[in-house]
Structure 1
Amino acid sequence: ILGGVEKPDVTFTVSDKDWLGITEGKLDATNAFMTGKLKIAGDMMLAMRVPTLFPTQR
């Protein structure tokens, strides 16, 4: 989110290329996390629910 959020519940750090891969179903979010391509800080339970927002990750 441009400008950020004051107190986010969860933060994702990922390259533009890898984020597009996740949202397009070309890169598995769990695999990206396990290989260090996706870094997560904050509420892990909430983070685990985010991939379900993308039909390709369900």
Structure 2
Amino acid sequence: MASSSELKSAALMDQMKLHLASDAGKDLVKKIGLVYQINIAPKKIGFNEEIYVVDLKKGEVTKGPYEGGKPDATFSFTDQDFFKVATGKMNPQIAFMRGAMKVKGSLSAAQKFTPDIFPKPSKM
């Protein structure tokens, strides 16, 4: 297996890293201050997942499980569904109700996880 990701969502995570380094990203950290773990599966939730941590306390995105205790909320998605939610093409509540998104941890923390925290895809 290649060490680089084959997930569409991996590019979003890279954009998120850059976004969090910007002023808008720093405002987000001040506003939200929570840690999210995101498990993204190529096809089926729970299988061959790539794990990312979006740390909105420190303002960073890392690959691999969260190591500072428990994240405030953990999400599981397929690559396609995560991409849709993060780019605003699918409402997170609808994704949750359809089972396209699974959530563990604090529901109030989970509700702050919206497409707004992601940088808008750059028009190329």
TM class by shorter chain equals 0.7 to 0.9
Which of 67, 90, 93 is residue 27 of structure 1 equivalent to?
90
Q: CA deviation at 1:8?
A: 1.2
Partner of 1:53: 117
Q: Which structure has the higher relative contact order (CA within 8 Å, separation 6+)?
A: 1
> Comparing both structures, which one devotes a greater share of its residues to helix?
1
- CA distance in structure 2 between the partners assigned to 1:42 and 1:33 by the alignment: 14
Q: CA deviation at 1:55?
A: 7.5
- CA distance in structure 1 between the partners assigned to 2:117 and 2:99 by the alignment: 21
- CA distance in structure 2 between the partners assigned to 1:53 and 1:31 by the alignment: 18
Gaps of 5+ in 1: none
For 1:48, give the aligned amino acid. Q
Q: 1:15–1:4: structure 2 CA closer, same or farther, 3 Å change rule?
A: same
Question: Where does structure 1 differ by over 4 angstroms across 4 or more consecutive aligned residues?
Answer: none
> Comparing both structures, which one devotes a greater share of its residues to strand?
2
Rg comparison, structure with higher value: 2
Gaps of 5+ in 2: 1-51, 53-62
Report the identity percentage: 36
TM-score (ref. length: structure 1): 0.83
